[in-house]
Copies of this chain bind each other. A is one copy, B any other.
Amino acid sequence: MLIQELFGIELPVIQAPMAGVQGSALTIAVSNAGGLGSLPCAMLSTQALRTELETIQKETNKPFNVNFFCHTPPEESAQQEKKWREALSPFYDEYDIDQREIPQGPGRAAFNEDTAALLKEFKPAVVSFHFGLPTSKLVAEVHSWGAKVLSSATTVEEALWLEQQGVDGIIAQGLEAGGHRGIFLTDDINTQVGTFALLRQVVNAVKVPVIAAGGIADAAGVEAALALGAAGVQVGTAYLLCPEANTSKIHREALKSQAVDNTALTNLFSGGPARGIVNRVMQELGPMSTVTPAFPLATTAIAPLRAAAEAQGKGDFSPLWAGQNVTGCKEISAAQLTKELAKG
């Protein structure tokens, strides 16, 4: 079954939810163009989520996807936080930042009963999760209004686990993909494989529709994914330069520079592995580090450095999320991009 049939949409393209660089404007544009627009909700307050959902329902009557994180919130470790701040301290000195005055960083709330209750008012057609799934009771709650439930798999084992929990589709997230890895059954990044390898293995292993993600940037990429047995694709990076995205000026400039040929998995910005353009802090402390606190706790201590550097026009401490194929990034409307991706 192709995702057009699964979700009741026209084109085989899901716009990947990208927390921090987009809101409802991108969701609306993609859904109205016939793809499946997505709203990243992990960093939204309840009130902000309600406002975004109201906006989307006002601007489109097409299906859309809301995306949530469902990590288990980690216990805070004072010792680990100390190590992390020690590693950052030369940079604090450089930017004259007083460690004692660092405010709590932006949270990433895991999906819970309140979120489910709020969603039920709006009945979005698709709800996708990253880092596994919430409790089976919450998954049942989401299914209760007829929503399709998706989650990301980064290994065959994760795909089998998700299928057993009753998901309606699985996003096979290849190593090329930008942003956070959906990895949740292991923390060994050697298990993470490229889209060509992962997609085919997941398609062979499960019966539910599989959506390809990672390295897909044009119509040929969509065709290739379908040839490998995908039911559709999820594309993120290509949308980063669209006017409907909130991608910062620093991030946009990095995407248009030579620097974009060098991405890496890094845990410096949140504590969890995510792919971004290699910048100064990744070069000097990583890209992977053992001193960061668990996801998402690393964000707090690096946030003031990011703010201070960005104020000087520098992305040295910013997460410059990008996948390994940025050739699809174009400064065109999200509607046009969606149609170009699907024209194969």
Contact = CB atoms under 8 A, between A and B. Distances in A.
Contacts of A323: 197
A134 interface: no
Interface string A201-230: 100100000000011111011011101110
Given A190-B287, A227-B227, A325 B201 contact: yes
Query: Quick one: which of A156, A218, A228 has the most chain B CB within 10 A?
Result: A228
Interface string A270-299: 000000001000000001000000000000
A215 B192 CA distance: 13
A2 interface: no
Contacts of A229: 220
A286 to B, nearest CB: 11
A264 B157 CA distance: 18
A204 B261 contact: no
Query: Quick one: which of A193, A197, A287 has the most chain B CB within 10 A?
Result: A197
Contacts of A215: 193-197, 200
B200 A176 contact: no
Contact of A197 (B223, B287, B324): B324
A112 interface: no
Given A194-B195, A195-B196, A196-B216, A201 B327 contact: yes
This chain: copies in complex: 2
A178 B175 CA distance: 16
Given A190-B264, A287-B190, A197 B220 contact: no
Contacts of A324: 193-194, 197-198
A60 interface: no
Given A191-B261, A194-B214, A262-B188, A325 B175 contact: no
A200 B327 contact: yes
B193 A176 contact: yes
Given A201-B327, A325-B201, A262 B190 contact: yes
Contacts of A196: 174, 176, 194-196, 214-216, 221, 224, 325
A324 B199 CA distance: 11
B194 A220 contact: no
Nearest to A203: B220
Contacts of A220: 200, 227-229
A227 to B, nearest CB: 4
A263 interface: yes
Interface of A: 155-157, 174-176, 188, 190-191, 193-198, 200-201, 204, 214-218, 220-221, 223-225, 227-229, 261-264, 278, 287, 323-325, 327
30 contacts: A155-B261, A156-B261, A176-B194, A176-B196, A190-B262, A190-B278, A190-B287, A191-B261, A194-B195, A194-B214, A194-B324, A195-B195, A195-B196, A195-B215, A196-B196, A196-B214, A196-B215, A197-B214, A197-B215, A197-B217, A197-B323, A197-B324, A198-B324, A200-B215, A200-B221, A201-B325, A204-B327, A223-B228, A224-B224, A224-B228
